[in-house]
């Protein structure tokens, strides 16, 4: 059974149908990269997976839970499904340690104090920022803030991580440090769904590419196959425009 099953999902905003029957499966440990032009529905799909947007029809299942079922506790679900956005969304008045440990403490995952600090150090070490545990967001570069946002997700020990164009708000020289963290997570077996414009990452790290166009999954498959032999002119044009 796949870890994530997205079946014939539709979503409209007013008159605009943004998702037009999207179906994708994600196996445990897979790195699925969603690519496509702006407005193709990629980020909306990610927000639907995490229950941040309601779907109009279809079904999204993560493990045994149907995301949009009335019986589903979305707060609990999100403890297992982390999401990292373009904007870092760190609390400016809190230290890095406090930003990371707030959710695990509130969820009863860890006790405030030494245990929480140990957890923060552990996840900061994973993203290469252990020395910044007592810093505040304003003292960090954009790339460092994004790595702290990833560490904050990791502190909840998620089964699935969602990344929504996490490098697009960064200066070009900072993109590499965030991509390296994501590559390390991929090597460690984290299941990830990413919306990204970083084609190098999509080619070299992803286990599956999903190309969305006009609200639909136009093509999907292994990166080598899709990049070498795009089956549709839409994907061919998209790849050409990103070179």
Q: Which CATH superfamily is domain 1-82+192-221 in?
A: P-loop containing nucleotide triphosphate hydrolases (3.40.50.300)
In Å, how far from its chain's centre is CA 171?
20
Domain assignments of the chain as residue spans, ordered by start: 1-82+192-221, 85-157
User: What DSSP string describes 83-114?
Assistant: EE-SS----TTS-HHHHHHHHHHHTTSS-TTH
Which of the 8 DSSP states describes residue 43? H
The CA dihedral of 79, 82, 86, 91, to the nearest 10 degrees, is 40
Place of tokens 């286990």: 207
Q: What are phi and psi of 211, to 5 degrees?
A: -100, 115
Q: What pLDDT is recorded for position 114?
A: 94
CA distance 211 to 102: 36
Q: What pLDDT is recorded for position 241?
A: 85
Pairing of strands 160-164, 81-84: parallel
Q: What pLDDT is recorded for position 76?
A: 87
CB 117 within 8 A of CB 99: no
Q: What pLDDT is recorded for position 242?
A: 78
Q: What pLDDT is recorded for position 88?
A: 83
Q: What is the pTM of this model?
A: 0.93
Q: Is 49 helix (H, G, I), strand (E, B) or coil?
A: helix
Q: What pLDDT is recorded for position 170?
A: 86
CB 62 within 8 A of CB 3: yes
CA distance 234 to 135: 46
User: What DSSP string describes 107-170?
Assistant: TTSS-TTHHHHHHHHHHHHHTT-GGGTT--GGGS-HHHHHHHHHHHHHTT--SEEEEESTTTTS
Tens of pLDDT along the chain (243 residues) come to 799 999 999 999 999 999 999 999 999 999 999 999 988 999 999 999 999 999 999 999 999 899 999 999 988 888 889 999 988 889 999 999 999 999 999 988 899 999 999 999 999 999 999 999 999 999 999 999 999 999 999 999 999 999 999 988 888 888 899 999 999 999 999 999 999 988 888 998 999 999 999 999 999 999 999 999 999 999 999 988 877
């Amino acid at each position: 059974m796949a870890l994530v099953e997205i079946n014939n999902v539709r979503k409209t905003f007013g008159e605009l149908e943004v998702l037009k029957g999207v179906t994708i499966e994600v196996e445990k440990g897979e790195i699925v990269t969603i690519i496509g032009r702006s407005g193709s529905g990629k980020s909306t799909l990610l927000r639907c997976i995490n229950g941040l947007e309601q779907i109009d029809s279809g079904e999204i299942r993560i493990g045994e839970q149907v995301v949009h079922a009335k019986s589903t506790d979305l707060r609990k679900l999100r403890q297992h499904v982390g999401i990292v956005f373009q904007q870092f969304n760190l609390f400016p008045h809190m230290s890095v340690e406090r930003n990371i440990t707030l959710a695990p403490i509130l969820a009863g995952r860890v006790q405030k104090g030494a245990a929480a600090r140990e957890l923060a150090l552990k996840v900061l070490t994973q993203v290469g920022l252990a020395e910044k545990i007592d810093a505040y967001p304003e003292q960090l570069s954009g790339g460092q803030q994004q790595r702290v946002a990833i560490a904050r997700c990791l502190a909840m020990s998620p089964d699935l991580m969602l990344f929504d164009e996490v490098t697009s708000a960064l200066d070009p020289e900072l993109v590499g440090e965030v991509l390296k963290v994501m590559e390390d997570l991929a090597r460690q077996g984290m299941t990830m769904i990413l919306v990204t414009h970083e084609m190098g990452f999509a080619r070299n790290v992803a286990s599956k590419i999903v190309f969305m166009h006009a609200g639909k999954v136009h093509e999907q498959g292994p990166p080598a196959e899709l990049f070498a032999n795009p089956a549709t002119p839409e994907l061919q044009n998209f790849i050409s425009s990103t070179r």
